[in-house]
Structure 1
């Protein structure tokens, strides 16, 4: 057995915060507003740091050293314990005091029972994997006691690492869950490239298991966000400027919480084909408005519920068609052929559910598209301001309020977009009525602000800034009342 690992086993058995904003969230508050507690002024206020990989490694190593010194174990074993307990030193120490053996077994450091090999006078052992007979000093094992030759250990680790596995590498023996700690793995990796890949993967696993750390989801960005508050709050990477939710790592989605936005995005993906099918294959009866699906060749339809006869193509009364039948039909059915039987399917609840979904989805998608168009608005503003400055009509600074208005518009519209998934999953009641009222008020003020920005040439600056203040107050009021964190 590896002596370094045995030693570790014996020891164990003994008793200036940055708040970063992007263009959507540029604050342009007056000086008197700056004196107000940010937690009161801004419901999205969030304390966090943007750390480099080196800073994160130092932070993690401090935890490792603290636990290692307290329990008198190797740093690599301390990492296994910390990774399995969300880097909580106090939790690990408490469990160790209560039952050290149970802690090590549950953490997959020690097995429930150790393998005892039969004694032999031979200096050679057959490897269970490659079946090659080698000297005993060519073999090593984890605390489970399963011995394998060093070459097989190396091959095992390389295969696992190439599959993206690092902290989850276990013993090669069947049904053995004992984990291979960092020192044991690195000792068997001979290629520097493989060692670097393994250390990179373990670092990523450690960060993902730490509740106060979150990788920036920006492309090719190695920044890590750290916050003592594990909340669904807006984080902005100070390096790549990516905005995301700290809790789930997805696009920032206030006031909708992480679980609801996942359900919404999944529903949008799953229901897209359903919506297309119903739009293409079903229509509402022009008299009673019940959903009807056509599965026959004839365009003469009779509603199953109210018995109304109508044309499938134009929804007109069938009796009034006469010789004009073919003028509205996309199909050239032979009038001499007897009408096919038409089976009419009625599913009111499914139809209403789809209508509800499409109501919210269309508004969600509309504001998403509007946000993209706001970029064009800013470009137009920039050109107009350049023309004014060149014509001597004020300086560039004099016209910055227009950019502030455009950025606030995008900020408000972004929040409004994410109110629709929130409303979709809300239960009917007084709280939903209040939410929809505030939602409608916010949407009205956003459209007023958008209208005035587009006509900034004729809009009084005071009037525009007043509209900005109203829109932002509507937004923050809604968030204060409904942002659950």
Structure 2
């Protein structure tokens, strides 16, 4: 049985034992992204930090006031009621200036485009239901009802209020509010909020309508995004809709403001979406590379990786090698660039279709293995962090310093997770990147960052025998490598 050299002090585990449950669980990246890393030595200046992003965390009441200010502005500018103003703002992505400009140009066309009024050349009133009769036949239930028991939108299509109520209740149950249309066939006039609330008679449906309508307003607003944290009601507001990291002050969830998913720098939102979809589709094909064991390249004994560091030492023959490429670790420093760079087949275009398919799969597996390896390293290094906390507690209780004296170890673990998280997301970026000088530069910086991360991981796992100054110097180097890569390749 062999193990990661970084865990020499841990108990050995025989190959064949059940894997830890944590391997099957979703790793909580949010903890690491939300960790405050305040040391000035490693904090980029605000005007130089490519990840800096201005945003604020708002409560529901604050957002309601913000939205109401926009509604009042439209109402006073173009003279319509609040419900119609909300429809205009919703359909125009809350662009007040654009609405005012279109109103000056053609006010009727503005209302037509927003589906508040019917086009000029359309027949807006049913012939059978003209106001000459006190009773109106509902085209849904085919029953005649008095005029006061019927209702219509600006299009003039009359239906009894009972049918309207049933229609609205069904739509609200499905979570639809602002997008509810007139019941007449082919009519796309939207139901405004005041009309819906006047028709809905049950308090529960009225409350649901208002709740769903508010959520729809927030989702349509380019400056607002709900925090995806569990049971969190905080709404993030940012002036710019960019692929930047935001951290909820309430639940500490970290995510990308633009797409709402996990923060994925330097990869952009579209690319990470393609990558995650591909990983989900090809997960069964790639399962065999997710195994946690490999053979020692020297004595061929089975090795289990139980630490985050990729520097492995065979327990049997003491051979040092790289977990990723199985190369000799002693000469690995000069060859690290080759370890992280995929070597394209220059003649693949002339090969058969089957050969090209195999090459495409080979390329995908190359990047997927490294993506998955860093994800697992993050999980294993989370265990290392807990071990560090335990050892610090023991030292403090034994009067061997205070928590402040040992804080640098926690800072180092937080920075390691921050850097490795960025490194993990460089692989989807590289996978979709076109070959050329820019990709060569990216792969070089990626390899440099990976080398410094592995050095930092090694020194953290051997913190008790590592000089503090040496560790802090390695932290500085790793963060500078990460900042340089993001500065050159981070998309907005």
Q: TM-score, normalised by structure 2?
A: 0.78
- Counterpart secondary structure, 1:153: helix
On the 8 A contact 1:22/1:236 being kept in 2, the answer is: no
Shift of 1:171: 0.5
Name the CA distance, whole Å, in 2 between partners of 1:205 and 1:346: 47
Q: Given the alignment, which residue of 348, 364, 373 partners 1:366?
A: 373
Q: Could you say which structure has the greater relative contact order, defined with CA pairs below 8 angstroms and 6 or more residues apart?
A: 2
> Which position in structure 1 is the counterpart of 2:37?
27
Q: Given the alignment, which residue of 429, 433, 444 partners 1:422?
A: 429
On the 8 A contact 2:222/2:241 being kept in 1, the answer is: yes
Deviations 1:318-363 (A, max 9, x none): xxxxxxxxxxxxxxxxxxxxxxxxxxx9821111111110000000
Shift of 1:30: 2.7
Name the CA distance, whole Å, in 2 between partners of 1:262 and 1:99: 40
Unaligned 5+ residue runs, structure 2? 1-29, 291-351
1:157 equivalent in alignment to 2:168: yes
Q: Given the alignment, which residue of 59, 63, 68 partners 2:70?
A: 63
1:148 equivalent in alignment to 2:156: no
Shift of 1:474: 0.4
* Segments of 4+ moved more than 4 angstroms: 118-121, 274-279
Name the CA distance, whole Å, in 2 between partners of 1:429 and 1:123: 77
- Counterpart secondary structure, 1:27: coil
Name the CA distance, whole Å, in 2 between partners of 1:205 and 1:278: 42
Shift of 1:117: 3.5
- Counterpart secondary structure, 2:284: helix
Name the CA distance, whole Å, in 1 between partners of 2:460 and 2:36: 17
Deviations 1:418-475 (A, max 9, x none): 0000000000011101100110010000000000001111100000000000000000
- Counterpart secondary structure, 1:235: strand
- Counterpart secondary structure, 2:406: helix
Shift of 1:272: 2.2
Q: Given the alignment, which residue of 38, 46, 51 partners 2:46?
A: 38
Q: Given the alignment, which residue of 215, 232, 238 partners 2:249?
A: 238
Whichever of the two has the greater Rg, that structure is: 1
RMSD value, Cα: 1.9
With over 3 angstroms needed to count, the CA separation of the structure-2 counterparts of 1:245 and 1:121, relative to structure 1, is closer
> Which position in structure 2 is the counterpart of 1:316?
none
Shift of 1:129: 1.1
Residues 80-479 of structure 1: matches in 2 within 5 Å?
Answer: 80-112=87-119, 113=122, 114-115=124-125, 117=127, 119=130, 121-275=132-286, 347-479=354-486
Name the CA distance, whole Å, in 1 between partners of 2:476 and 2:283: 38
Residue correspondences, number: 397
> Which position in structure 2 is the counterpart of 1:289?
none
Name the CA distance, whole Å, in 2 between partners of 1:423 and 1:86: 34
Name the CA distance, whole Å, in 1 between partners of 2:432 and 2:438: 12
Shift of 1:122: 3.7
